Amino acid sequence: MGRRRKRLSVLGSTGSIGVNTVEVACAFPDRFEIIGLAAGRNVDRLRDQIVKVKPRCVAVQDRKTALALKKLLPAGLSKLEILWGQEGCCRVADHHEVDMVVSAIVGAAGLLPTLAAVKAGKDIALANKETLVIAGEVVTRSLQATGARLLPVDSEHSAIFQALQGNARSAVKRLLLTASGGPFFGKTVQELASVTPQEALRHPNWSMGPKITVDSATLMNKGLEVIEAHWLFGVPVDQIAVHIHPESIVHSMVEYVDGSVIAQLGMPDMKIPIAYALSYPERLPVEAPRLDLFALRSLTFYPPDLETFPCLNLAYRAARAGGTMPAVLNAANEAAVEAFLSGRLAFTDIPRLIAQVMDAHGVGPADTVERIQAADCWARREAKRVLNGSAPESKGQELSV
């Protein structure tokens, strides 16, 4: 008897990770079936995906977008269940037919749908790092209660996951996360003061969405990945180090107590870690560029410049503070990146805004979704206040939930 296909829901299907996930699933139709798709407002791309994979249900940002999508669908797909809003996204995530949910929504918006999938016992292929950054305690507790598995999709965490195979966690000395350094590696603070959003969005190695690309340029993305790695692998934050690696060939490493360092290498193509998460513990013959070691001129590594790129230090500070501070860090960063992309904030003011919001925050426990959401809302309001130059709210006001 043939193997039953793994049934997937893809959250954030029209983004970079989502598009690659759909391509990988369609390349192996005997292995995967897509049951649900969730997206924002990109109805043209979503329509194409619907026609291609014929899911049972989809979710979009709001009712207006749902009506627009319905008008675009061919007559043969008119019975497709079209949902909207956060509730609709959660229904796609915990659909009773689904085995695995690919969580690729950008930002804190991915928390509730991912948590809904975990509570329903679905395995999670996690690309939404913010879920663990802001709610690591809550998600970990839910995973333990349901027995659901969390499989990393980020190339760095996938590399660590692979380098840990067959080794005792007690033998791990450090996790070594690599970072490309983004488009501004080697620049000075003075040179960064005048960079434009267009310049920040020109990543040298990876094709990603705008928010993650800016985070890569500030090194905040690596800071968030440090916190994510802490929760994924149960390693203390101070045993997670960042190495700038401009070639993006070594995706991350694990250093063991005997001095051995195990690395995972490959071309910078997200289809590789996506396919590994979908098929684990097996590997699929993915159509992706192959690494030619003879063509490599060098593999270089540098310590991060924390004075020029202070966002990484802010992430370590938030991780050490714990509680609601990582949620505040993330919310302030999302607000700062949005302001930068819209021309309301200079690139070098991104970490300054985040630091001001963190300085104003009274840390509380992050043991419930309600406390996390309260901290997130407070941080966004505080960031807006700082941007507008308004009077401050009282410190930690929202954390009495």
Looking at residue 206, its pLDDT comes to 60
Q: 377, 248, 375: which is closest to 323 by C-alpha?
A: 375
How far is 253 from 161, CA to CA, in rounded Å? 10
How far is 282 from 374, CA to CA, in rounded Å? 41
Q: 120, 104, 132, 111: which is closest to 274 by C-alpha?
A: 104
CATH code, 22? 3.40.50.720
pLDDT in tens, 123-182: 999 999 999 999 999 999 999 999 999 999 999 999 999 999 999 999 999 999 999 998
Contact between residue 206 and residue 216 where contact means Cβ atoms under 8 Å apart: yes
Look at residue 12 and give its three-state secondary structure.
coil
Average pLDDT value for residue range 115-130? 96
Assigned domain for 397 exists: no
Single pTM value for the model: 0.92
Looking at residue 134, its pLDDT comes to 96
How far is 386 from 6, CA to CA, in rounded Å? 47
Average pLDDT value for residue range 256-284? 97
Half-sphere exposure of 399 (CA within 13 A, CB side): 21
Assigned domain for 40 exists: yes
Count of domains forming the chain = 3
CATH code, 370? 1.10.1740.10
Looking at residue 399, its pLDDT comes to 35
Q: 216, 309, 331, 225: which is closest to 273 by C-alpha?
A: 225
Looking at residue 398, its pLDDT comes to 39
Average pLDDT value for residue range 353-375? 97
Assigned domain for 183 exists: yes
Last residue within a domain, chosen from 124, 152, 180: 152
Assigned domain for 18 exists: yes
Residue 33 shares a structural domain with residue 117: yes
Residue 127 shares a structural domain with residue 189: no
DSSP letter (8 states) at residue 294: G
Burial of 213 (0-12, 13-18, 19+ CB in 10 A): buried
Element (H, E) at 124: strand 123-126
Assigned domain for 395 exists: no
How far is 105 from 334, CA to CA, in rounded Å? 13
Last residue within a domain, chosen from 104, 121, 152: 152
Residue 142 shares a structural domain with residue 243: no
Average pLDDT value for residue range 308-320? 97
Amino acid letter, residue 235 = V
pLDDT band at 207 (very low <50, low <70, confident <90, very high): low
Question: 354 versus 195: which is more confidently predicted?
Answer: 354
* pLDDT of residue 2 exceeding 70: no
Residue 128 shares a structural domain with residue 196: no
Looking at residue 239, its pLDDT comes to 98
Q: 383, 226, 366, 385: which is closest to 306 by C-alpha?
A: 226
Residue 232 shares a structural domain with residue 351: no
* pLDDT of residue 400 exceeding 70: no
How far is 178 from 366, CA to CA, in rounded Å? 28
* pLDDT of residue 341 exceeding 60: yes
Residue 242 shares a structural domain with residue 131: no
How far is 87 from 360, CA to CA, in rounded Å? 32
- DSSP alpha helices (H): ranges in 35-84? 43-53, 63-72
How far is 48 from 155, CA to CA, in rounded Å? 27
Residue 22 shares a structural domain with residue 84: yes
pLDDT in tens, 55-92: 999 999 999 999 999 999 988 786 799 999 999 999 99
Average pLDDT value for residue range 255-272? 96
pLDDT in tens, 366-383: 999 999 999 999 999 999
Residue 261 shares a structural domain with residue 372: no
Residue 124 shares a structural domain with residue 192: no
- DSSP alpha helices (H): ranges in 300-394? 311-321, 325-341, 349-359, 369-388
Q: Partners of 126 in the beta sheet?
A: 103, 152
Assigned domain for 65 exists: yes
Question: Which domain, by its residues, includes 205?
Answer: 170-268+279-295
Looking at residue 79, its pLDDT comes to 77
Residue 179 shares a structural domain with residue 143: no
Assigned domain for 195 exists: yes
Assigned domain for 207 exists: yes
Residue 23 shares a structural domain with residue 126: yes
Residue 377 shares a structural domain with residue 255: no
